[in-house]
Chains A and B, each alone.
Chain A
Amino acid sequence: MSALAQRLAGFLHQPGFQAAVPVLILLLIGFFGPLVLVAVFSFMPARSFKLDGGPTLENYRFAFEQSYYLSLLRSFAFAAGTVAVLALVCYPVALGMAKLFGRYAGVLTLVMVLPLFVSENVRLFGWVLFLLKGGGVLAGAAKAVFGIELADMLYSNSATLMGLAYVYLPFMLFPMVLGLSMVSRDVVEAASDLGASRWQIMREIELPLALPGLLIGGLLTFVLSLGSLTESKVLGGSKVIMIAADIESAFTYGQNWPLGSALSVLLLVLAGGLVLVVLSKLNLDAILKRR
């Protein structure tokens, strides 16, 4: 028996591994299985519903020929935009929650979490009512109170970006709070005592020390926005088509599972690659030890 096989046998006989077997099976069937199915379908001939066709790259070629890559690019742009907007919006709030608000931080946390109890669709349609041209809450109020006629705000890129930032805000905020709470008061005061201005403290001390939290928050919101569907559908309407919408229509209206699968695989590989790159920069052990 080779050394490797010996180690493998030893591993298989560990009680820890044996206890994990049920969960492992569940994960393989429920999580990994569908992904494999999607991956295999992406190599089937177009519009087939069975897995008996010869493997082909036809779907991938089609995806690029039919300018699906534009939706993919748009999705990446929106995801990047969402991360940027949220980083700017959340940083001051997170700083307050981690350092300044004390016991009121709990109240703020509750306020931030509360919307999550309402279905995302309902919340987004709330925004539709608010932004709707003419009869919308915002336009109506502006007209009644100030006599201003507002331009159409709904069904645009900016409305979609706003919706994405709104929905994914907690996913940026809370990791950021966690990251900033790892920056001790002493260290900030020491920097100030040594002559650092507020900006220098942020650049030299807070950002580098809170980086793990910032990266995790950024990663979460990026990946979530990348695969988002409802925000662009509800607030972007027919003007803003993101890759998730293309995938959905390939599976439903188009009845073309292999095409939908190919687009899914493309998204998965790109997003997965990004996650791996970022995670390789994060040393979670060190983060936990430093607390």
Chain B
Amino acid sequence: MGAPEAHRSGAGGAIPPVLRLVGLTKTFGSFAAVDQVDLDIRQGEFFTIVGPSGSGKTTLLRMLAGLERPSAGDILLRGERVNDVAANRRPTAMVFQSLALFQHKTVGQNIEFALKMRRVDPAARRERAYQLMDMLRLSRDYYGRSVARISGGERQRVALARALASDPEILFFDEPLSAIDYRLRKQLEVELKDLHRETRKTFVYITHSLEEAMVMSDRIGIMRQGRLIQIGTPDEIYTRPLNKFVSEFMGEVNIIEVEARADGWLAAKGLERPLKGPVMPNGLVHGHLVVRPESVRFIDNGAGGGADNVVAGTLYNEYALGSRVQYHVKAGGRMFVVEKLRELRPEATLGAAVTIGWDARDSILVPD
């Protein structure tokens, strides 16, 4: 694990970036909400910024959209500095978290708003609105309907169509799916990715869910306390998280605090036996071993293959997740999360003693 620079895989390719951020900073009083962010966003990519609330991701996006003025640094759009260009003069459009639909207008009027502001004649506006409604699978019957009278999913589509109407170069998304129920959210994630494929526009998306980011993005930037701490493809982030913070972001993983021993093994608090894992980088004594729930397996006593690391514990509880089942195993004063396909269910009742194990190659060692 090196410096963040090392994770900008393939940066500086043949295509110049559509959007370049140089030392972009936004301070509120003495607090730096966004702190010296450098980032190149490529033409046509789906870039997602992931971070917890308060990490500065919304402020960053608002600066890109022109809704907030940077305190320092530059925003370059195709090489041109746009710091002082107001939102209404940038060739970008934003989909807001609240969607910010115009409640007093119809679906058609909402979609056509950007065109009306540009004084496009009504017939052409209507044609464009129909075209977008077809693309987003929104029935043309909705054209004259008030946006106050349509469903949540339909409102999302109207907001998307409205942002696309003026054919912007870049689309910004400020957590548009955060307030939507699970099933619809999953469906809209897929639709958004398909929309990205169809329009070939540059999408810059922010979310607090790494899972959501993984589904849709070409590249992901992890944001923490105003800084982009890791940038990479979903694969890179998944297999090589920069530190404990990034690993924790990936949902339910086992994170075991470890210390390096002289013999190369790792001592874990609460566990009797030392663990075998990747080699600690030079000079590092303290770290965290990350093991995914699906990498942990149940080990039959005696029979069956062993594992590099074996931990004895008791089965605390099990949770069905559809095709998989998640188990919580109490061991060494902590809870291990194990996920297995339904077919691989262990023959143990709740409270029974079980042995779990994983191989060293399935674990990742990360710093704090």
* Known A-B contacts A184-B100, A209-B103, A209-B104; A190 and B117 likewise in contact (beta carbons under 8 Å): no
* Known A-B contacts A189-B67, A190-B94, A204-B113; A195 and B88 likewise in contact (beta carbons under 8 Å): yes
Taking the closest CB of chain B, its distance from the CB of A196, in whole angstroms, is 5
Taking the closest CB of chain A, its distance from the CB of B88, in whole angstroms, is 5
Once bound together, how far apart are the Cα atoms of A194 and B100, in whole Å?
12
List which A157-212 residues lie within 8 A (CB) of chain B.
184, 186-187, 189-197, 200, 204-205, 208-209
* Number of A interface residues in the complex (CB < 8 A): 18
User: B98 in the interface, Cβ–Cβ < 8 Å?
Assistant: yes
User: B242 in the interface, Cβ–Cβ < 8 Å?
Assistant: no
User: B93 in the interface, Cβ–Cβ < 8 Å?
Assistant: yes
Taking the closest CB of chain B, its distance from the CB of A144, in whole angstroms, is 48
Residues B98 and A193 in contact, CB atoms below 8 Å apart: no
Q: Which chain B residues lie closer than 8 Å to A103 at the CB level?
A: none
Instruction: How many A-B residue pairs have C-beta atoms within 8 angstroms? Tell me.
Output: 64
Residues A193 and B87 in contact, CB atoms below 8 Å apart: yes
User: B142 in the interface, Cβ–Cβ < 8 Å?
Assistant: no
User: B124 in the interface, Cβ–Cβ < 8 Å?
Assistant: no
* Number of B interface residues in the complex (CB < 8 A): 27
Taking the closest CB of chain B, its distance from the CB of A17, in whole angstroms, is 34
Q: Which chain A residues lie closer than 8 Å to B265 at the CB level?
A: none
Q: Which chain A residues lie closer than 8 Å to B89 at the CB level?
A: 195
Q: Which chain B residues lie closer than 8 Å to A208 at the CB level?
A: 104
Contact for B87 among A186, A187, A189, CB less than 8 A: A189
Chain A's interface: helix, strand, loop or mixed, by majority? Answer: helix
User: B102 in the interface, Cβ–Cβ < 8 Å?
Assistant: yes
Mask of B155-187 contacts with A, CB within 8 angstroms, 1/0 = 000000011011000000000000000000000
User: B249 in the interface, Cβ–Cβ < 8 Å?
Assistant: no
Once bound together, how far apart are the Cα atoms of A208 and B113, in whole Å?
15
User: B96 in the interface, Cβ–Cβ < 8 Å?
Assistant: yes
Residues B67 and A194 in contact, CB atoms below 8 Å apart: no
Kindly report which residue of chain A lies nearest to residue B165, judged by CB atoms. Answer: A194
Residues A197 and B88 in contact, CB atoms below 8 Å apart: yes
Kindly report which residue of chain B lies nearest to residue A209, judged by CB atoms. Answer: B104
Once bound together, how far apart are the Cα atoms of A246 and B113, in whole Å?
52
Q: Which chain A residues lie closer than 8 Å to B166 at the CB level?
A: 194-195
User: A290 in the interface, Cβ–Cβ < 8 Å?
Assistant: yes
Residues B100 and A189 in contact, CB atoms below 8 Å apart: yes
Taking the closest CB of chain B, its distance from the CB of A261, in whole angstroms, is 44
Residues A195 and B100 in contact, CB atoms below 8 Å apart: no
Beyond A193-B87, A194-B113, 20 additional pairs, beta carbon < 8 A: A184-B98, A184-B100, A186-B97, A186-B100, A189-B67, A190-B96, A190-B100, A191-B102, A191-B117, A192-B67, A192-B87, A193-B65, A193-B66, A193-B67, A194-B114, A195-B88, A195-B118, A197-B117, A204-B116, A209-B103
23 CB contacts below 8 A, A to B, read: A184-B98, A186-B97, A186-B100, A187-B100, A187-B101, A187-B102, A189-B67, A189-B87, A192-B86, A192-B88, A193-B65, A193-B67, A193-B88, A194-B93, A194-B113, A194-B166, A195-B166, A196-B88, A197-B117, A200-B117, A205-B102, A209-B104, A290-B103
Chain B interface (Cβ < 8 Å from any Cβ of A): 65-67, 86-89, 92-94, 96-98, 100-104, 113-114, 116-118, 162-163, 165-166
Closest 6 CB pairs of A and B: A190-B100, A186-B100, A194-B114, A195-B117, A193-B87, A192-B87
